[in-house]
């Protein structure tokens, strides 16, 4: 009689141990799922279109050229096979290219946004380049505008990657716009050459955490 009782206690202990393992595994699974949902959310929430030019064309980009400026695809890339080059040698003029009105209907007022891109280039006789970010109002106008980095981009002959964390303005009914400007000075011979690659606009860390929590809550509701 003693043996069967002892056997029951062992079996009971084993069951409890298995329950503990299951609980621990569920916790690890939930943590891993949180990470996976956040990562998947980041990938799904990339707002730029063809930000790295890997479509092999300039689709997704809007160009506002000067009289003689050019905006063209190049194989001189930071990553992948393609990038873009903006060349401007018109005196006292700005050649502008942009990802316009992206994230419309998805980005909310005050959302954290992470912006990154790789650039290189050269300037002469007063030429400069800027990266700017706008919160657009549907129908026209902006609720917030900023020069990323606070001034001209420090261009060199090699690609540099820049990352900025910002927040959307109080009205983003028209989405947001990431804009690059190759600007020349008033002196004859002023030139700006700007190479752009790997442009990205995604939810910031806080927004990603909310995406992860929202994804987990959705999954729990389905269970």
Q: How far apart are CA 186 and CA 126, in angstroms?
A: 7
pLDDT score of 45: 87
pLDDT score of 200: 98
Q: Which class does domain 62-204 fall in?
A: mainly beta
Domain ranges of the chain: 2-44, 62-204
pLDDT in tens, 84-102: 999 999 999 999 999 999 9
pLDDT score of 121: 98
- pLDDT tops 50 at residue 24: no
Q: How far apart are CA 55 and CA 82, in angstroms?
A: 8
Q: Is 147 helix (H, G, I), strand (E, B) or coil?
A: strand
Strand order from edge to edge, sheet including 176-183: 62-64, 94-102, 176-183, 128-136, 142-147
pLDDT in tens, 203-223: 988 665 555 544 444 445 555
- pLDDT tops 70 at residue 2: no
pLDDT band at 105 (very low <50, low <70, confident <90, very high): very high
Which tokens in the block code for residue 102? 């992206």
pLDDT in tens, 112-138: 999 999 999 999 999 999 999 999 999
- pLDDT tops 50 at residue 179: yes
| Half-sphere exposure for 100 (CA within 13 Å, toward CB) | 13
| Half-sphere exposure for 46 (CA within 13 Å, toward CB) | 15
Pair 135, 195: CB distance under 8 Å: no
Q: How far apart are CA 66 and CA 154, in angstroms?
A: 22
What is the torsion angle, in degrees rounded to the nearest 10, for the CA atoms of residue 46, residue 52, residue 54 and residue 56? 120
pLDDT score of 54: 98
């Amino acid at each position: 009689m003693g043996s069967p009782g002892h056997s029951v206690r062992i079996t009971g202990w084993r069951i409890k141990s298995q329950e503990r393992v299951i609980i621990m595994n569920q916790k690890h699974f939930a943590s891993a799922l949180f990470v996976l949902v956040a990562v998947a959310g980041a990938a799904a929430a990339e707002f730029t279109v063809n930000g790295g030019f890997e479509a092999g064309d300039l689709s997704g980009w809007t160009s506002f050229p000067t009289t003689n400026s050019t905006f063209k695809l190049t194989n001189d890339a930071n990553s992948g096979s393609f990038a873009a080059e903006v060349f401007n040698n018109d005196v006292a003029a700005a050649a502008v290219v942009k990802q316009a009105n992206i994230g419309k209907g998805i980005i909310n007022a005050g959302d954290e946004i992470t912006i990154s891109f790789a650039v290189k280039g050269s300037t002469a006789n007063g030429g400069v380049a800027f990266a700017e970010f706008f919160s657009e109002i549907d129908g026209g106008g902006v609720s917030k505008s900023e020069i990323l980095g606070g001034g001209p981009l420090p261009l060199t002959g090699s690609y540099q990657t820049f990352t900025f964390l910002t927040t959307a303005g109080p009205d983003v009914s028209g989405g947001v716009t990431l804009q690059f400007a190759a600007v020349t000075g008033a002196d004859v011979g002023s030139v700006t050459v700007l190479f752009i690659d790997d442009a990205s606009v995604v939810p910031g860390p806080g927004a990603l955490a909310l995406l992860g929590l929202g994804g987990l809550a959705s999954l729990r509701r389905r269970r």
